[in-house]
Structure 1
Amino acid sequence: MKEKIKGFIFDLDGVLTSTSEYHYLAWKKIAEELGIPFDRRKNESLKGVSRRESLIILLGGKKLDNSTFEELLVRKNLYYLDYIKGITPGSLLPGALDILNSIKEWGGKSAVASVSKNTDEVLKKLEIKDKFDVVLDGYSVKKTKPEPDQFLLASRLLSIVPECCVVFEDSAAGIEAAKRAQMFSIGIGDSETLNNADLVYDRLDKIEFNMMLNKLEKS
Structure 2
Amino acid sequence: MAEKAFIFDMDGVIYDSEPIHAKAKKQVLAECGISISDERLATFVGRSSRDFYGTMVEENPQCQLSWQELAQRKHALYKRLLAEDDSVQVMPGIKELLEHIRAVGYPIGLGSSSIMEMIELVLNRFDLKDYFSVLVSGNDLPKSKPDPLIFLTVAQRLAVSPEICTVVEDATAGVTAAKAAGMYCIGYENPNSGPQNLSKADIIVNSHYDIIKLVK
> Which TM-score bucket, shorter chain as reference?
0.7 to 0.9
Q: Does structure 1 conserve the Cα–Cα contact (< 8 Å) formed by 2:2 and 2:106?
A: no
Aligned partner of 1:198 in structure 2 is: 202
Structure 1 position 33, deviation (Å): 1.1
Aligned to 2:110, the other structure's residue is in SS state strand
Q: Which sections of structure 1, spanning at least 5 residues, go unmatched?
A: 215-219
* RMSD value, Cα: 2.5
> What amino acid is the match of 1:115?
S
> What amino acid is the match of 1:160?
V
1:122-161 maps to which residues of 2 (within 5 A)? Answer: 122-161=122-161
What CA distance in whole angstroms lies between the structure 2 residues aligned with 1:35 and 1:140? 29
Cα deviations by residue, 1:172-218 (Å, 9 ceiling, x for unpaired): 11111111111110000179720100011012123343xx247xxxx
Q: Does structure 2 conserve the Cα–Cα contact (< 8 Å) formed by 1:175 and 1:197?
A: yes
Aligned partner of 1:40 in structure 2 is: 38
1:13-32 maps to which residues of 2 (within 5 A)? Answer: 13-32=11-30
Task: Give the % identical residues.
Answer: 30
Change (3 A) 1:163 1:48: same
Change (3 A) 1:131 1:88: farther
Aligned to 2:6, the other structure's residue is in SS state strand
Change (3 A) 1:125 1:67: same
What CA distance in whole angstroms lies between the structure 1 residues aligned with 2:50 and 2:64? 12
What CA distance in whole angstroms lies between the structure 2 residues aligned with 1:185 and 1:16? 16
> What amino acid is the match of 1:71?
E
What CA distance in whole angstroms lies between the structure 1 residues aligned with 2:12 and 2:131? 18
Structure 1 position 76, deviation (Å): 1.3
Q: Which sections of structure 2, spanning at least 5 residues, go unmatched?
A: none
Q: Which moved more, 1:26-35 or 1:152-161?
A: 26-35
Q: Which moved more, 1:147-156 or 1:83-92?
A: 83-92
What CA distance in whole angstroms lies between the structure 1 residues aligned with 2:196 and 2:31? 34
Aligned partner of 1:171 in structure 2 is: 171
TM-score relative to the length of structure 2: 0.88
Change (3 A) 1:86 1:102: farther
TM-score relative to the length of structure 1: 0.87
Cα deviations by residue, 1:34-88 (Å, 9 ceiling, x for unpaired): 2222232222022011112111343461226886433222111111111111477
1:47-196 maps to which residues of 2 (within 5 A)? Answer: 47-59=45-57, 61-63=59-61, 68-86=66-84, 91-117=89-115, 118-189=118-189, 193-196=197-200
Aligned partner of 2:5 in structure 1 is: 7
Aligned to 1:9, the other structure's residue is in SS state strand
Q: Does structure 2 conserve the Cα–Cα contact (< 8 Å) formed by 1:89 and 1:126?
A: no
> What amino acid is the match of 1:84?
L
**Runs (4+) off by over 6 Å:** 87-90
Change (3 A) 1:105 1:69: closer
